[in-house]
Amino acid sequence: MKFVYYISTIALLLNLSACRKFVEVADPKDELASKVVFSSDATATAAVVGIYADMNAVNYQFANVLTTFLGSMSADDFVYAATFANFDEFKNNAIQPGNPYVATFWSQPYNYIYRANAIIEGAGKSTELSPAVKNQVMGEAYFIRAFCHFYLVNLFGDVPLILTADVRKNTNLPRTPKAEVYASVINDLKLAKDLLVNTYAGNGERTRPNKVAATLMLARAYLYTGQNALAETEASNVIATTGYSLLDNADPANAAHLSKAFLKNSNETVWQLQVVNLSLGRNTWEGNTIVPVSSPLYRMTKDTYGIIPAFETGDRRLAYWINTYAAPATPTNILYYPYKYKVRVGTVGSPATEYSMVLRFSEAFLIRAEARIQQQKYDLGRDDLNVIRRRAGLTDLASPTSIATGMAKVEQERRVELFCEWGHRWFDLKRWPSTTGAAGKTRADDILPLTKPAWKSTAQLFPIPTEAIRSNVNLTPNPGYNQ
């Protein structure tokens, strides 16, 4: 079975039946041909929205629980308290190539990339779509392709770059150097930014990427590739856009309180995935999985180097984004679990109140702060960090006196702001250089051995899945894995 195994052709014409919540389109009576999909605004829209529906249709997928939970377990702020071999491999940074979740991290993004390519090609050739819908669906498809390649390259390093829907051409593609993948991600996000508009398509909910989502991801991609001036510019563009704000009211009953940040369509939302499966009152898979009935299995780290001691006294994020459970013991053992999502099971039959957050407005301030400090714009970088801190009820920082002291503040604020969101902490530790000056080492090499004695630098990349190696003669393993 070739590489095509991971970019399932069955999904090519995009599961219109799964899109009913977004666009009311009758299912075709036979297999759709591309020219049929892109012969009307309704079917073309259903094609792109179907990708989001599939991203969030079931639990433990790349686009919901897995990237957030296993990314956090791979770092240092989150553990699974029971014994489960497939999770333990991430917690211990000793992942086996046959781990089924590694296969999911690989196969699902490539599936969405393939479908995005089909939309780019089909909509691009169509003469029947209205100009507005054509721009919208192509812009979203470029965004999806960039988003998925971004996560693939951060999880696996060099990965095949798939830019067409031609499965024969894509079979047995070798790994593309990381720099080239990033260049493609940036190009796709620039195309998406040009094609999309600031308003949200469809019913106006923030569940389809818009120009602001593309701009925020572009700022992140520039930051990750060291293009700090460009990252600053794009983050500033996000911050200057009306309709977004940090929820910072001090009164928990107020709709603008930070405890409301993860509600559906909150002003802090740049892009969320809408709930697809509302059975039994589910809102988000994250909340349904992590909010416990009694003792939590998913717990925040609280030892000396854990995230709980990292919060400063009075930080509202600790008060409102993390919850506690008093385990029966003598003395009482206080357990901590993420509480950004607060609904485990809502009222059956009632509308959801929370959607899964993918991109959040606060990241723009953190990106700009880091980009400015890297350019030695210390006062401006401090100001951005202080915006985040004031919302959390903390005192202002003084200006850093060097890049090193400024980056220590950036690392702290990113850790306590973005915990348990889409692998941010894991990616940060891997992308920042070691502060010890050791050549080729990263912050992961500084930090993770403190709590993970068996840590090896090669664990910074996940293994290429066993099935991918077996099915593609041109794929090579990552260093440190015996494949």
17 has pLDDT over 60: no
The residues, ordered by sequence, that sit 6+ positions from 295 with a Cβ below 8 Å of its Cβ are 325, 327, 335
Task: Give the pLDDT confidence score for residue 19 in this predicted structure.
Answer: 35
pLDDT for 349: 86
State pTM to two decimals. Answer: 0.93
Spatial neighbors of 415 by CB under 8 A, at least 6 apart, are 77, 307, 310, 425, 428
pLDDT tens profile 220-241:
999 999 999 999 999 999 999 9
Structure confidence by residue, pLDDT tens digits, 386-427: 999 999 999 999 999 999 999 999 999 999 999 999 999 999
- Give the model's pLDDT for residue 33: 52
- pLDDT (average), residues 430-452: 95
Return the minimum-mean-pLDDT range out of 18-32, 106-120, 158-172: 18-32
Over the chain, what is the mean pLDDT?
A: 92
Structural domains in the chain? 3-269+357-471 (1.25.40.390)
Integer angstrom CA distances of residue 72 from 87, 93, 299, 329:
11, 11, 11, 27
Higher pLDDT, 190 or 28: 190
Q: What is the mean pLDDT of residues 187-211?
A: 97
| Encoded amino acid at 146, one letter | A
Residue 371 has pLDDT above 90, yes or no: yes
Distance CA 89, CA 102 (A): 10
